[in-house]
């Protein structure tokens, strides 16, 4: 849903729900997801509705994703890293499976 105006010059690759995504080093994860054509990154906890990053400035907590197994990370406040494993979320946090 975002279109980059410039070619990526220093690429990093991460995965989202198993699919590879390329971003520019230094991008925030949320912006990189949107520029990778991904908008629905989770389903809401209360109503199971699709949600996407909304404010990109750490205020709205809509951009929560699972990063390297840790749930509910604010993707707009973290930089992408090579090999990051990112997953969408559905429902509340899982406590007993995976223990993270």
Residues that bind another protein (CB under 8 A): 1-6, 23-24, 26-28, 31-32, 34-35, 39-40, 44-47, 49-62, 64, 70-72, 77-79, 91-96, 99-100
What is the smallest separation between the CB atom of 84 and another protein, expressed in angstroms? 14
What is the smallest separation between the CB atom of 42 and another protein, expressed in angstroms? 10
CA dist., res. 61 & res. 54, Å (int): 8
Length of the chain: 100
Q: What sign for the dihedral angle of Cα 56, 58, 60, 63?
A: positive
Q: Which is nearer to another protein, 29 or 83 (CB)?
A: 29
Q: Which is nearer to another protein, 1 or 83 (CB)?
A: 1
What is the smallest separation between the CB atom of 5 and another protein, expressed in angstroms? 5
What is the smallest separation between the CB atom of 52 and another protein, expressed in angstroms? 4
Is the distance from CB of 23 to CB of 12 less than 8 angstroms? yes
In order, the DSSP letters of 28-46 are BHHHHHHHTT----EE-TT
CA dist., res. 71 & res. 67, Å (int): 6
Q: Which is nearer to another protein, 52 or 87 (CB)?
A: 52
């Amino acid at each position: 849903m975002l279109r980059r105006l410039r070619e990526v010059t220093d690429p990093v690759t991460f995965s989202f729900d198993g699919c590879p995504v390329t971003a520019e080093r230094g991008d925030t994860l949320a912006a990189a997801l949107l520029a990778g054509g991904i908008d629905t990154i989770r389903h809401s906890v209360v109503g199971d509705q699709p949600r996407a990053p909304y404010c990109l400035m750490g205020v709205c907590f809509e951009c929560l994703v699972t990063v390297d197994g840790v749930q509910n990370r604010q993707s707009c406040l973290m930089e992408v890293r090579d090999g990051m494993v990112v997953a969408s979320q559905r429902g509340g946090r899982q406590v007993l499976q995976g223990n993270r």
